[in-house]
Amino acid sequence: MKVIATVKEMQAWADRIRRRGGRIALTPTMGYLHEGHLSLVREGQARSDYLVLSIFVNPTQFGPEEDLAAYPRAMERDCAMAEESGVDVVFAPTETELYGPDFQTFVSLERLPRHLCGRCRPVHFRGVATVVAKLFNIVKPHVVVFGEKDYQQLLVIRRMVADLNFDIEVVGAPTVREPDGLAKSSRNAYLAPDHRESALTLSRSLNIAQDMAAAGETDPQRIVAATQTLIEKAPHTRIDYVEIRDPHTLERVDVVEGSVLMALAVHVGKSRLIDNRILTPGG
């Protein structure tokens, strides 16, 4: 496995592979790898000849009050896990390599970031779209894999790829969960044991929401209220949002009919956790 830190070397590697007709997959990450990331790696490997895993804690997607400095980092452990998983290249640039002193070009979307996490984290999706566009130009992948846990991020990337005509296939991979239902996340590392118990209310409340929809509840506000009550009862929780939205536009829905997205973001102790589920109503 190669570890590459410079844009020039990464682009030269990608050009060499493309000249030979090789197909490149990219899994972008901010490191502190877990089983969720490795499932994205496997998904990419199944669709390509070479898998590139990028590790970069991207400063432009963190607001001034957010956890950039505290974000967990474990480069050596990450490289060992990547090698074990058959990754061909780890691309791990420094901050100055990606953002020079005169950097001033950003990619921002008009509508999708107005909702959900974009409302609570105003610069977040501009930072994500910008760094991902840069990674596309540096790694030159044919296919990229993103997790469905970050549902809004996946929509943003799909929109950007379509709007800016990147010739790249975007694959969404299912959320990987602990046996008790907690969605895998690097931010779970901040959870103390009693906080972890409270964090379980995210996936439990999504299950309750699905049960209500399957039982014929069509009022999104009643489903949201039931899930909020469950989460608020757990200690150390503070809800950012619990919402039922159109799964394509993220706009509000008045009635739960067809498939809808239920998405939530909750602070549990020091961690801000997100989770989501597509609710499918029953008769």
Residues taking part in catalysis: 37
Choose between 28 and 118: whose C-beta lies nearer to ligand PAF: 28
Within 10 angstroms of residue 124's Cβ, the number of other Cβ atoms is 21
Within 10 angstroms of residue 25's Cβ, the number of other Cβ atoms is 26
Within 10 angstroms of residue 69's Cβ, the number of other Cβ atoms is 8
Sheet containing 271-279, strands listed edge to edge, beginning at the edge strand earlier in sequence:
237-245, 260-268, 271-279
Among 61, 130, 198, 237, binds ligand PAF (CB under 6 A): 61
Q: Closest approach of Cβ 135 to ligand PAF, in Å?
A: 8
Which listed range, 126-134, 174-182, 231-239, 244-252, lies at the site for ligand PAF (CB under 6 A)? 126-134
Q: Closest approach of Cβ 111 to ligand PAF, in Å?
A: 19
Q: How far apart are CA 32 and CA 121, in angstroms?
A: 22
Which listed range, 27-35, 79-87, 92-100, 253-261, lies at the site for ligand PAF (CB under 6 A)? 27-35
Among 25, 132, 154, 263, binds ligand PAF (CB under 6 A): 132
Among 150, 176, 195, 263, binds ligand PAF (CB under 6 A): 150
DSSP reduced 3-state for 147: strand
Which listed range, 1-9, 26-34, 84-92, 250-258, lies at the site for ligand PAF (CB under 6 A)? 26-34
- 234 forms part of the interface with ligand PAF (CB under 6 A): no
Question: How many alpha carbons lie under 13 Å from residue 48 in its C-beta half-sphere?
Answer: 31
Q: How far apart are CA 263 and CA 243, in angstroms?
A: 5
- 133 forms part of the interface with ligand PAF (CB under 6 A): no
Type and span of the H or E element at 28: strand 24-29
- 131 forms part of the interface with ligand PAF (CB under 6 A): yes
Opening angle at CA 260, ends 25 and 123, nearest 5:
60
Q: Closest approach of Cβ 150 to ligand PAF, in Å?
A: 5
Q: How far apart are the first and last CA of the chain?
A: 52
- 30 forms part of the interface with ligand PAF (CB under 6 A): yes
Question: Which amino acid is residue 267, in one-letter code?
Answer: H
Q: Closest approach of Cβ 73 to ligand PAF, in Å?
A: 13
145 burial via Cβ count (<10 Å: 0-12, 13-18, 19+): buried
Choose between 92 and 128: whose C-beta lies nearer to ligand PAF: 128
Q: Closest approach of Cβ 70 to ligand PAF, in Å?
A: 16
Interacting residues toward ligand PAF by CB under 6 A: 28-30, 58, 61, 128, 131-132, 150, 153
